[in-house]
Structure 1
Amino acid sequence: MSQRPISSTTDGRINLEQQRKRAKELLPRLKSQDPTSTLSQAQWHVAKQLGFSSWPKLKAHVDAIDFAARHPGFEASDEARTTHWRCGNDIAHSLQLAGFKGQFQMLTDPLCMGPVRDLPNTAFRALRSAFISQAFALDEVQVARRMDDEYDQLAALADADHCVLWCEADAYDQLFLIRTLAGLERLPKKLELIEVDRIPGVERFIGIGQLAPDVLAWLWPQRRLIDEEAVLVAKQAWSAYCDNSPTRWAELAHSSQASLPFLAPALLRQLQELPGVQDGLSLTERLSLAYIAESGPVPFGRVFAELMIKREPLPFLGDMMFHALLRPLIDAEQPLLSETEVHLEWPRRMLTLTALGQAVLAGQAYWLDHASHERWVGGSCLQPGQAHWALGHDNRPVWRS
């Protein structure tokens, strides 16, 4: 029987009574197709559509989360000296609500954007600070101060008693993960990783930040130790990502690593930010133009929502990051997008394709032949009108001269 999902949650919490009610509501529909259908079969359909193989497994999952919520001391004997690391502050408050008592640290550097080169610490921080302040119109001195503080804290990780890295499977998080591990001269006393690419009951999992505090508590016992093999893989991946040629990075993206199982898909998705060999667009740009072509004029913010909710295969962008990525398509001397209602905040401004935008989207023109802005993907620099790395139809990099 084919039908749309009965229910979905956004924060990972599942109300069992609500699912029982839905199963009862579904039963008459099942009986209309097969008079022998039972409530147990309806419950099985509900469980299946929430990502479980059976109703008992759905119930066991709900019970496990409820238990974690009722027992905030669940293995927390060493939490006062634990440091929780995250690539943003989206779970800081939820960790406190869930009963975590350790410190919280974050690295906010969006390594999936802008130049990322293998440079000495001071030069690397200066490079990233300059990019962040320019891309997001922030005070460069304040950005540099924040970068110094965050990277200083990260450099001290090797001497910490107990650190836990909270990561999801997208490029933003996986680049944070390999940057963190690649910078280690030695493993800390106890370095653990919580890594997740989906949550039962969440139809469209975008990130850990959307999860309820009790679901974070449920994730806690699933952490695992980081070993030397994971650090070695991270060092190789970070070096490849920083290289001015994406060939080694592509090899890792097309392989699998048991010690860091989510790394290859994230690297592959980030590789797709290279310009496509046919149109010169990154995947983010192509998905955005395609939606605007279908629905335009359309508010800027709705384009972002459409990608996050439906079209983006591995969501990795925040709203301000998305805005910064699309600005060159609007601000170029020969733009692909026209922006109106500019007196409004950017999410409410209307976007439409220009004639050049339509031609590029159709593969009849090549974006980097018309672009005005330099763009970086990892260590690969893309300069308008110059030879550069692009991505072929097999998701392998090719040199386009």
Structure 2
Amino acid sequence: MSQHPASSSHDGRINLEQQRKRAKELLLRMKSGAAPEQLSLIPGGPPSSPPILSDAQWLIARQLGFSSWPKLKAHVDAVDFAARHPDFAASDEALTTHWRCGNDIAHSLQLAGFKGHFQMLSDPLCMGPVPNLPAEQYQAVRSRYISEAFEMDSADVARRLNDEYNHLTLLANDEHSVLWCEADAYDQLFLIRALAGLERVPFKLELIEVDRIPGVQRFIGIGQLAPDVLAWLWPQRRPIDEQTVQLARQAWLAYCDSSPVKLAELARGTHRCLPLLAPALLRQLQELPGVRDGLSLTEHLALQFIEEAGPVAFARVFAELMAQREPLPYLGDLMFHALMRPLIDCKTPLLTESDTHLQWPRRLLTLTPLGHQVLKGTAYWLDHGAKERWVGGVCIQAGQPHWMVDDRCMPVWRN
């Protein structure tokens, strides 16, 4: 489902007066017979008498994801009240450490009136090797991967990661911490990593976790939300208990395992204390090679669009995946670029890029003959010299036996 500029909000803010104006405009079109498809959506079918304003308001509310106009109005009032009357003082927010898997909400928290400290773990755990190793070795592996994948200075990366992980070890002793997470693999892996490292449950550790925002048709992440919507989310935090930490430890060990079998079991379960975890793990499993073509889901979706629209700019491919095709968006643009490079920079590429003198987002991508064959399933990508890749602790090497996933997202061993 894509964003419609006239009917949905991107940052979660809904202007009620604007929606009232839209309802009046829609009513005029309905009365003139210019919107028959809208009339057919009204419960009970098109009204026998001329449509009235409440019909148009109901349709506008439904477009924004609400069951009725009063529900839409109540939500707008709740966001407005939260922004004007935050319970920051009552909840000791000034003493709080806000944790996030990036810095995308740091400024918005300040604008919303939050006074606490901000910490982040920027390690993109959804990419590259995530082996079960002692802390020092683990950080060395992650630093090396990040510096190579994103072409960053290795010493700078190592210092930043060391600082972030050192702060994370203090989480158990913080007076009050809140983790801000959404539903995708980037956030859920950050969440289980943070909790799995706890030796004990802190006195006051809370979670703000969201997979949708009323009025936002295509919710990508918390970073897109307006400051007043963050204030509305604040009272919705919930405490993290020992059961939640135990589940996080189990999930983190499964993710770091060299076999995806345990991860697949967790991905197919129902976890009341972390309800968004299983779908994120299931999506991450889809980054393993598919049995038909050897492509991860990200690679398959990208190649599919390039075949349909190519030659097409790198940036447009990323935008299409985020707006339309990706079932659980988790990538930033630089992350997407890093994942696509192995399909280009190898002896038997699946993609070619033109205009290499331009910045990468403007370069045009085209499928090679092998790219077409792989996408059709008549060739298997990992039989043609694809680079080594990882999904958590699972290593996939071209020409070697490896794990795949079938159409039901079940792990399959390929000899």
TM-score by length of 2: 0.94
Q: 1:203 aligns with which of 217, 241, 261?
A: 217
Q: Confirm whether residue 387 of structure 1 aligns to residue 401 of structure 2.
A: yes
Shift of 1:74: 4.6
Shift of 1:22: 0.9
Shift of 1:29: 3.7
RMSD of aligned alpha carbons = 1.2
- Is 331-340 or 38-47 further displaced after alignment? 38-47
Kindly report which structure 2 residues correspond to 1:2-401, keeping only aligned pairs within 5 A, or say none: 7-31=7-31, 32=33, 34=47, 35-401=49-415
Distance 2:386 2:179 in 1: 39
Distance 1:361 1:314 in 2: 21
Distance 1:319 1:77 in 2: 36
Cα contact 1:24–1:39 (8 A) shared by 2: yes
Shift of 1:314: 0.3
Distance 1:6 1:210 in 2: 18
Cα contact 1:158–1:186 (8 A) shared by 2: yes
Distance 2:90 2:326 in 1: 37
Aligned with 2:274: secondary structure?
A: coil
Counterpart residue identity of residue 162, structure 1 = H
Map Cα deviations across residues 264-312 of structure 1 (whole Å, 9 max, x no partner): 0000000000000000000000000000000000000110000001110
| Percent pairwise identity | 71
Map Cα deviations across residues 26-75 of structure 1 (whole Å, 9 max, x no partner): 11343435443211111111111111111111111101111122224555
Shift of 1:396: 0.1
List runs of 5+ in structure 1 lacking aligned partners: none
Distance 2:319 2:134 in 1: 38
Distance 2:165 2:118 in 1: 14
Cα contact 2:132–2:257 (8 A) shared by 1: yes
Aligned with 2:246: secondary structure?
A: helix
Cα contact 2:88–2:94 (8 A) shared by 1: no
Counterpart residue identity of residue 11, structure 1 = D
Shift of 1:183: 0.5
Distance 1:76 1:7 in 2: 36
Shift of 1:366: 0.2
Counterpart residue identity of residue 117, structure 1 = P
Distance 2:89 2:80 in 1: 16
TM-score by length of 1: 0.97
Distance 1:199 1:309 in 2: 16
Cα contact 1:76–1:100 (8 A) shared by 2: no
Cα contact 1:6–1:46 (8 A) shared by 2: no
Distance 1:6 1:255 in 2: 38
Distance 1:371 1:400 in 2: 16
Cα contact 2:353–2:365 (8 A) shared by 1: yes
Map Cα deviations across residues 153-204 of structure 1 (whole Å, 9 max, x no partner): 0000000000000000000000000001111000111000000001111111
The number of equivalent residue pairs is: 398
Counterpart residue identity of residue 236, structure 2 = Q
